Structure 1
Amino acid sequence: MKFLLGLFLFSVLLTTGASIECEICKGVNNCTSKREICPEEFYACSSSLLENSKVKDVYMAKGCANPEICLFGVIAMTDGNGSHIRQVATCCEEYACNPAAPILPERNTRANGKICPGCSSNKDDCSAAVTECIGSETYCVSYVTLSEKNVVIGSRKGCTRERTCTHLKTFDGGIFHDVNHVKNVQCTPAMAATTSSSPSPSPSPLSLPLPFRFLLLALLLMKLLL
């Protein structure tokens, strides 16, 4: 009977164009709340985990979402000085549904030979330092974060995956749930890290063409005779 009632209510939502209801909350590791009606542009419930190396806890956020957010898998960024942020989300689109518990896999920390400018700040720009990219991070990204009132609250630059760039450009609501909106998103392929910055050695006289070697020898003899 409960199943039939739920099915009936879900069909009513579909036919009337009404939004679904989701839990909307944030908390350490987990959170719960009463369901709220979602805006019409959102038609899925999401549950996401956020890992930020600058804080020791992992945060969970639940809310209304566009289900495409869950198609990108783990979204990650390394933004310099050993700091990083990662997020993974799960979604469901059924009436009164509960998204599956998201799981962050072990982080791949192996350098991949690419570098990017990396930094984070609570201003609209930050002073970047060379940052080593890891794992599958092959793109450099930079963006500005905005509050709900469209006020700049920070900026970030660093290494990321191509999918994260796509996500940032597609959804201006941002990816990490501590971000309300983003703008000025720029993505470029990461640069190859150079193995050495030492100057090139001077050429040896023996490496010069034969006529130049004779000329050099003649000049040395003239210098000795004078």
Structure 2
Amino acid sequence: MPGFVLFCLLSAFLTSGNSLVCEVCKSKEASCSGTLQTCEDSEHVCSTMVAEYRIGGIMFTRSFKECMETSPICDFIPFSMTFRPSIAMRTTFNCCSTDGCNSVQPELPEVSRTPNGFECPSCFALGASRCGYMDTLQCSGNEDHCFEITGTLMIGNFNFTKSSAGCGTAGTCSKKVGSHRYSKNVVDVLTKVKCSPALQAGSTRTEL
């Protein structure tokens, strides 16, 4: 019996010693730093997310570093998206699986307002399950893909449905229909995702 008890104690010690350790923090800036914390047994990834939103003349940024279960966002490519000339976002993600590996701060995609000769259908509608009307948006910089995305964004206890379309970088096409957990308190449930290379301005597009 004593041998069995010793075996159990050793097993518990070794199991706890194998838990992943990640930097954990959140900020309203483009970077954050925090303490190293031991993850839960079900959490196998150290994640970092940085997102910047521009709505009219207002700019706000959020950054998170956390322990997370493996998430589809780990396969995302950093991207920027423009819905209207005055509404845009850019974001970057990083996932790794060694102790403290998310201490490195990822860079947001560069943004350029120089027209690139492409155009896309454009809309941004809150509380709507589809875009009722599309404008034409002149694309700029590295945003040479057209997207149309509908879903519900859940931030803590606050949920809102949104439909959007516009110009995006190639990384926008890494979004897929389904649930995407950007952080423990931010989940995007996408019900429609279309993404394709943009056409030259003036070309005829029958469908995205």
Q: Superposition pairs for residues 75-86 of structure 1, below 5 Å? A: 75-86=79-90
Q: CA deviation at 1:146?
A: 1.8
**Cα distance 1:155–1:50, how it changes in 2: closer, same or farther (>3 A)?**
same
SS in 2 for 1:101: coil
Look up the match of 1:192. 200
What is the alpha-carbon root mean square deviation over aligned residues? 3.5
SS in 1 for 2:202: coil
Q: Of 158, 164, 174, which residue of structure 1 is paired with 2:172?
A: 164
Q: Which has the higher contact order (CA 8 A, sep 6+)?
A: 2
Q: Distance in 2 between matches of 1:46 and 1:24?
A: 9
Q: Distance in 2 between matches of 1:159 and 1:39?
A: 40
Q: CA deviation at 1:25?
A: 5.0
* TM-score normalised by L of structure 1: 0.63
1:115 counterpart = 2:119 = yes
Gaps of 5+ in 2: 1-12, 204-208
Identity of aligned residues (%): 27
**Cα distance 1:135–1:147, how it changes in 2: closer, same or farther (>3 A)?**
closer
Q: CA deviation at 1:162?
A: 2.7
Q: CA deviation at 1:76?
A: 0.9
User: How many residues of Structure 1 are paired with residues of Structure 2 in the alignment?
Assistant: 180
Q: CA deviation at 1:180?
A: 2.1
Q: CA deviation at 1:121?
A: 1.9
Q: Distance in 2 between matches of 1:110 and 1:10?
A: 54
Look up the match of 2:27. 27
Q: CA deviation at 1:188?
A: 2.8
- Alignment check: 8 A CA contact 2:94 2:102 kept: no
Which structure shows the bigger proportion of residues in strand conformation?
A: 2
Look up the match of 1:56. 59
- Alignment check: 8 A CA contact 1:23 1:62 kept: yes
- Alignment check: 8 A CA contact 2:49 2:182 kept: no
Q: Of 117, 123, 129, which residue of structure 2 is paired with 1:124?
A: 129
* TM-score normalised by L of structure 2: 0.67
**Cα distance 1:74–1:97, how it changes in 2: closer, same or farther (>3 A)?**
closer
1:118-156 Cα offsets, whole Å, 9 max, x none, are 12221222332111111232221111122459x752121
